[in-house]
Amino acid sequence: MNTVSIGNFKVGEGQPLVLFAGPCVLEGLERSLLIGRRVKEITEKLGIPYVFKASFDKANRSSYNGFRGPGIKKGLEMLQAIKDELKVPVISDIHNESQVAAAAKVLDVIQIPAFLCRQTDLLYKAAKSGKTINVKKGQFMAPNDMRNVVDKLHEAGCSDILLTERGASFGYNNLVVDMRSFPIMRSFGYPVVFDATHSVQLPGGAGTASAGNREYVEYLTRAAVGAGVDALFMEVHDAPDEALCDGPNMVCLDNLESILKDALAINAIVKKQ
């Protein structure tokens, strides 16, 4: 398996379990930093490499009036400030080719959203940036289909690739995670990530917004780590019920350390560390 470098650490075979975590959307610099500092304290205590995540724009809202974030210019400025203060790598998602150049100046990892994972031009342009690319598997795709995504990135000369599972659509307003997807996607030669919080989302479940079942995050996290993932992706918040986006599926910061301790214990058994 290829290992992927992010900042001063690596993700993949023989490497520590990595955490991507932060609020769904940048809700302002002060609150984003508050969340990032808390997560960094927890991950340093547990010895987990940490990447701060937050979106500068959530373009795939259920409603036109849904909170989208500060936009690319102000959002990237905020992410740069967070990166400088916390001294951690940062990841955010892009939605079209025009955003790649600006994003690549700040982000350590460029993320392709699940709904856009088949967009050839977007994948190619992002891959040409020279950055590590994290692609979320579409809710409409089988894990084997992600081999084509990897091939598209290879065509652009990219070999720093992460593949993320975030559940598959199953019936109305529901997602289900097939644990077979982790060894299947890992067989393509790249590290796999489990998006533990979007996987408990109920897309459009609140009518004009998504609902979610955050109480199941800990259970799915244990199962995914047991299946051999290389990293975890979690949206976290100091007060999820006050969050401007994805609150119902976000993990409360007060519960994060306990979830991660369980994950580390299982990871040690699975990876025989």
pLDDT digits (tens, 9 = 90+) for 223-239: 999 999 999 999 999 99
Residue 120 domain-assigned (yes or no): yes
Task: For residue 163, list its beta bridge partners.
Answer: 135, 192
Residue 240 domain-assigned (yes or no): yes
What pLDDT is attached to residue 124?
98
| 151 burial level (CB within 10 Å; 0-12, 13-18, 19+) | exposed
Domain total for the chain?
1
Q: Which pLDDT band, with edges at 50, 70 and 90, does 273 fall under?
A: low
> Given a cut of 70, is residue 55 above it in pLDDT?
yes
Residue 3 domain-assigned (yes or no): no
pLDDT in tens, 132-181: 999 999 999 999 999 999 999 999 999 999 999 999 998 888 999 999 99
Separation in Å, CA 232 to CA 19, 126, 165, 166: 5, 22, 10, 11
pLDDT in tens, 32-49: 999 999 999 999 999 999
Residue 9 domain-assigned (yes or no): no
Residue 43 domain-assigned (yes or no): yes
Residue 6 domain-assigned (yes or no): no
pLDDT in tens, 78-114: 999 999 999 999 999 999 999 999 999 999 999 999 9
Residue 196 domain-assigned (yes or no): yes
The proportion of the chain whose per-residue pLDDT surpasses 70, expressed as a percent, equals 98
Which domain range does residue 143 map to? 15-270
Residue 211 domain-assigned (yes or no): yes
The proportion of the chain whose per-residue pLDDT surpasses 90, expressed as a percent, equals 86
What pLDDT is attached to residue 228?
97
Contacts of 215 (CB under 8 A, 6+ apart): none
CATH of the domain at 42: 3.20.20.70
> Given a cut of 80, is residue 206 above it in pLDDT?
no
